Amino acid sequence: MRKVIIAGNWKMFKTQAEAQEFLKGFVTQLEETPEDREIVLCVPFTDLDIMSKSLHGSRVRLGAQNVHWEESGAYTGEISAPMLTEIGVRFVVVGHSERRQYFGETDETVNLRLKAAQSHGLTPILCVGETKEQRDAGQTESHIFSQLEKDLVGVDQDNLVIAYEPIWAIGTGDTCESKEANRVIRLIRSQLTNPDVTIQYGGSVKPENIDEIMAQTEIDGALVGGASLQPDSFAKIVNYK
Ligand code: PGA
């Protein structure tokens, strides 16, 4: 059975005070949310501890936005898996296109991070997706297959979430047609050894398009950036029809 997982990715937004303000408005809107939907908030490192305490006993799971592959060491600016699990983090975004684009993340480091996360019991959310140029050149499939092949070496597919995020759709308001996202996600699934991996769509997901996205047969959830920052809009997304 494929699990439905809706995750917010706050990126570099929200101080602790703002994060707590968000929760006040958000958790009260989950009373009618079907039990079989997993809700995750992937927040900045500085918000994790206070969010973990505030979310204790709630159904919202906590996620980080990156993890290093070593348990400790001289890696200035990095955070390790034991540091995350100690404070109750369950999920971690790995290989987001912004990490690949601005911070030199490669398929090799993505692979190391995925394996480290899993070995400490974290569930990684692996992001893959093509640029506009790759799409226009007809390289969407070959690019994503290459990412999957390299990123997933030695990775346990029983504890994995994948997010298909076409880069041209991230933060642009230009959502990928839901049928096209469904087609690409079917292709991604065809490359996996475990057909039950949850595969999300990400890229300009909002309350206005979530119903159509979630109505697609292959799409098991969403990774939501901008629209996860406001309690009302993220609540509308997790409460999709
Ligand atoms: P967006 O971001 O929803 O703001 O397009 C999605 C993401 O980067 O995960």
Q: How confident is the prediction for the chain on average, in pLDDT?
A: 97
Instruction: For residues 221 and 3, give the distance between their C-alpha atoms in angstroms, rounded to a whole number.
Output: 8
Residue extents of the structural domains in the chain: 4-238
Q: Is the CB of 95 under 6 A from ligand 1?
A: no
Instruction: For residues 205 and 172, give the distance between their C-alpha atoms in angstroms, rounded to a whole number.
Output: 10
pLDDT of residue 175: 85
Residue 89 has pLDDT above 90, yes or no: yes
Q: What is the DSSP string of 138-205?
A: T-HHHHHHHHHHHHTTT--TTS-EEEE--GGGTTTS-PPPHHHHHHHHHHHHHT-S-TT-EEEEESS-
pLDDT of residue 75: 98
Q: Is the CB of 105 under 6 A from ligand 1?
A: no
Give the residue numbers annotated as catalytic, written as ranges: 96, 165
Architecture of domain 4-238: Alpha-Beta Barrel (3.20)
CA of 117 to the centre of ligand 1 (A): 22
Please write the tens of the pLDDT for every residue from 121-136: 999 999 999 999 999 9
Residue 210 has pLDDT above 90, yes or no: yes
Q: Is the CB of 9 under 6 A from ligand 1?
A: yes
pLDDT of residue 1: 86
pTM for this model (two decimals): 0.98
Name the residue with the closest Cα to ligand 1, atom 1.
225
Contact 167, 129 (CB under 8 A): yes
Please write the tens of the pLDDT for every residue from 22-32: 999 999 999 99
Residue 88 has pLDDT above 90, yes or no: yes
Name the residue with the closest Cα to ligand 1, atom 6.
225
Residue 173 has pLDDT above 90, yes or no: no
